[in-house]
């Protein structure tokens, strides 16, 4: 059995340890910032997103603020353009927004 690295998280569907996908990363960031002001992302918003990522077992060291600017902009799209009103809708829209290559 392989031991998990700090970047790995438990995937309950495949019953294995796996590096989070961009979709899962995006969802974690969105969930982490849900309680913050959507109109004016603040340091608290970024900290909440970082905390959510750490909680998912992800390394946050390489990430820089422009990444979170993109996350917060995506949140504004979700809340004000897509009109999401539930966590399921937010997760669905986040997955659609996260169609990016893994880095």
d(CA 63, CA 22): 13
Question: 45 vs 5, 9, 21, CA distance in Å?
Answer: 27, 23, 21
Q: What is the pLDDT along the chain (103 residues), one digit of tens a residue?
A: 444 444 445 555 555 555 555 555 555 555 555 544 554 555 666 666 667 666 666 666 655 555 556 665 655 554 544 443 444 455 555 556 555 544 4
Q: For position 103, what pLDDT does the model report? A: 45
Can you give the residue ranges of every domain in the chain? Answer: 19-97
Q: For position 47, what pLDDT does the model report? A: 66
Q: For position 33, what pLDDT does the model report? A: 54
User: Can you say how many angstroms the Cα of residue 18 is from the centroid of all Cα atoms in its chain?
Assistant: 16
d(CA 31, CA 11): 18
Is the overall model pTM greater than 0.75, yes or no? no
């Amino acid at each position: 059995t392989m031991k998990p690295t700090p970047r790995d998280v438990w995937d309950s569907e495949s019953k294995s340890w796996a590096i989070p996908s961009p979709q899962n990363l995006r969802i974690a960031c969105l969930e982490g910032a849900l309680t913050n002001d959507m109109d004016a992302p603040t340091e608290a918003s970024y900290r909440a997103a970082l905390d959510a990522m750490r909680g998912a077992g992800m390394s946050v060291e390489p990430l820089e603020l422009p990444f979170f600017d993109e996350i917060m902009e995506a949140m504004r799209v979700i809340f004000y353009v897509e009109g999401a009103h539930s966590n399921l809708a937010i997760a669905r829209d986040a997955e659609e927004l996260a169609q990016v290559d893994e880095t």
